[in-house]
Amino acid sequence: MSQALSTDVLIVGGGVAGLWLNARLRRQGFATVLVERACLGGGQSVKSQGIIHGGAKYALHGALTGASEAIADMPRRWREALAGSGELDLAGVRLLSDAHYLWSPGSLAGNITSFFASKAVRGRVDQVKGEQLPPALQHPTFKGKVYRLAELVLDVPSVIKRLSELAGDGLLAGECIEPLRENGQLVGLIIDGREIRAQRVILSAGSGNAELLSSLGLSQPTQQLRPLHMVLVKGPSLKPLYAHCLGGGPKPRVTITTHPAADGQWVWYLGGDLAEADGVARDEASQIKAAQKELSDLLPWVDLSAAQWATLRIDRAEPAQSGLVRPDNAFLHEQGSLLVGWPTKLALAPDFADRVLAAFNRDGIQPATHAPLPALPRPTVAPPFWQGLV
């Protein structure tokens, strides 16, 4: 049997939420081990569009909501981390765009236009024109309105890589995960036959949380999966675009982000309403056809004759909600020494860490002294998912 280990906190799940939490804990002096079964960030994280939302997306019906207010401070916190002056040092992470945009293909409804100009969103939203427009919208035939959001778009693979560096020697590749109990209490986990004791065990494995909970003999908290059917298009004529296209409803008609391919071309990654209910019901060919029609209607000047197309299905894992609605905040459930959580969005990884640290402060959890970790088998970092699709 492998050498038994001890640590302050044992984290299972190496997506952005688990890695961010791990780095925060280490910065505060806690000893940590983070276990990942596959590739770091290889689940939902690397398939994210990389948008650090500030809430405007949730106000498209003309009013601020609980979701928009809960997430409002996230862009500032991420920007400070990118500058190396925040709660983590993410200097070196690639910033794809310093802003995200809202655009309407025609005239916006008057109440929404006035709402974006109101005090409620002042400082978050500004109208842009001419050379301030995103490159893909700088065309003589474009007649819509464009609003610049005080948000940002990150290259998620570089985020995962940097967070893995901040994990130091505490990353562990492990497949078989079993509970370690004494006197009926969870005192750690057995990873591939190696006992790892910890003051607290935290599950942050996204959709993997359900299986982990089952292996621990637990039925709560329950998980919901909200599916998406995303579309990717790569072509020599594409220019950078990071924007929600308004469709008049409470959700963006389509959300486009742009990502660098290894061959120097750009990949457009399409989400929004296109990828939700109707999109989920379509097969790949029908979904690509729907996306082609959307782009033809919205951006008719973009030449897609040489474009390559693909789709990607994603299940967003979250705590179960009535009616499968989207949770407003990161979620944390506590059961003795076990904590289980979902960030619910990439942008809310700092909020997830806040909730864990608040629980530690309440319970008086402090760093202890542990033997140095031996050399551990280290999980690899997930490559950009689009490399194998387009």
What is residue 346's three-state secondary structure? helix
Q: Which domain holds residue 104?
A: 98-152+225-316
8 Å CB contact between 231 and 274: yes
Local confidence band at 322 (pLDDT 50, 70, 90 cut-offs):
confident
Which pTM value belongs to this model? Answer: 0.94
Return the DSSP state at 326: P
Pairing of strands 243-245, 254-260: antiparallel
**Which of 10, 12, 14, 15 lies closest to 25, judged by CA?**
10
250 shares a domain with 194: no
360 shares a domain with 295: no
Per DSSP, what are the bridge partners of residue 177? 191
Domains held by the chain: number: 2
The CB-side HSE value for 369 (13 A sphere, CA atoms) comes to 0
Handedness of CA 376, 344, 50, 89 (dihedral sign): negative
Lowest mean pLDDT among 80-84, 120-124, 240-244: 120-124
Express each pLDDT in 261-301 by its tens digit. 999 999 999 999 999 989 999 999 999 999 999 999 999 99
8 Å CB contact between 239 and 137: no
Q: Please identify, among 316, 336, 363, the residue that sits at the C-terminal boundary of a domain.
A: 316
333 shares a domain with 294: no
CA 141 to chain centre: 34
310 shares a domain with 231: yes
pLDDT of residue 123: 53
64 is a domain residue:
no
Whether residue 7 is predicted with pLDDT greater than 70 in this model: the reply is: yes
361 shares a domain with 345: yes
335 is a domain residue:
yes
Mean pLDDT to the nearest integer, 46-51:
97
Return the DSSP state at 292: H
